[in-house]
Structure 1
């Protein structure tokens, strides 16, 4: 058995370890679960969900079982060392700066190079986008409220509050712009 290597784990590493803490899974299972849960607020390439489990196997944090014949699917399970790494990460301080990667915010910053029509359309589009996302989160929350754990529900609640707050910003901004146009 090869000696486990030590490398700095990434956010994707912890996503995989966390999901495998619920149940063993294939990379496809992980992709599906994540798309319907934390994928709503933590975006990353799906290819990472196919590569990262193998890296965690090499790190000695996850085991893999390869299907005999057929598609030879690999099912991954978290090992005690993986649970320990996840617990260490959960207990570490979380003082990182939050990175907001909102394309609407980026466009707004540069809109002095656009037109008034562009500005109004941006405000309308972003208001609607955040409203739609908040509505979808509320629907998801209603679907999982009876079986999800309280931390998953609280995560959904924060997502809803965030989207409603940003929706309100764009609504207020649009109202301000439309009032200016009436003068």
Structure 2
């Protein structure tokens, strides 16, 4: 995130929440601890505000840009990790009631629809001025959420047909 602009840990938390936090989970503490570790490693610098709250603003160094470039050049063949509470509950739904299953399907449908709608709104806000690759991440997010939304809509239709 510092490759785009210098930031305090709080600003990093805000940026992550509006961008990569949509698809990569971060412990908020990591956004406060990691910049200090990166500074120790010479990958970022820290400038401390003189007075006030003495906020630290972090900036990426040339060595940090080189490390980022090296990381970007590595292969990325890992399987996508899916941690979806809806799929977990669906797997064990034999034990639940038909009402539980219907509520699960409806809740997951609404959740994925809301997230896709949110991504679409973000896309419309940034499409004309944001980094091309940031826009592409939102486009994939929209497609993913719409696909999962459609799955749950179809499942609700199956449940309706059965009852």
**TM-score of Structure 1 vs Structure 2, range by shorter chain:** over 0.9
Query: Deviating runs (4+, > 6 A) in structure 1?
Result: none
Partners of 1:58 and 1:96 in 2: CA distance: 29
Aligned position for 1:144:
126
Aligned position for 1:7:
none
Tell me how far 1:21 sits from its aligned partner. Answer: 0.7
Out of 61, 70, 78, the position equivalent to 1:79 is 61
Tell me how far 1:69 sits from its aligned partner. Answer: 1.4
Listed one character per residue, the Cα deviations across residues 61-117 of structure 1 (whole Å, up to 9, x for unaligned) are 111011111100000010111101100111100011110111101111111111111
TM-score (norm 2): 0.98
Partners of 1:44 and 1:149 in 2: CA distance: 22
Tell me how far 1:149 sits from its aligned partner. Answer: 1.5
1:153 equivalenced with 2:135 (yes/no): yes
1:55 equivalenced with 2:34 (yes/no): no
TM-score (norm 1): 0.87
Aligned position for 1:12:
none
Aligned position for 2:116:
134
Aligned position for 1:174:
156
Partners of 1:86 and 1:164 in 2: CA distance: 32
Partners of 1:57 and 1:45 in 2: CA distance: 19
Aligned position for 1:43:
25
Partners of 1:112 and 1:44 in 2: CA distance: 33
SS in 2 for 1:64: strand
Tell me how far 1:177 sits from its aligned partner. Answer: 1.1
Kindly tell me the number of residue pairs found equivalent between the two proteins. Answer: 163
Listed one character per residue, the Cα deviations across residues 140-182 of structure 1 (whole Å, up to 9, x for unaligned) are 000111110211111100000000000000011110111011x
Partners of 2:81 and 2:96 in 1: CA distance: 25
Give the RMSD, CA atoms, in angstroms: 0.7
Unaligned runs of 5+ in 2: none
Aligned position for 1:11:
none
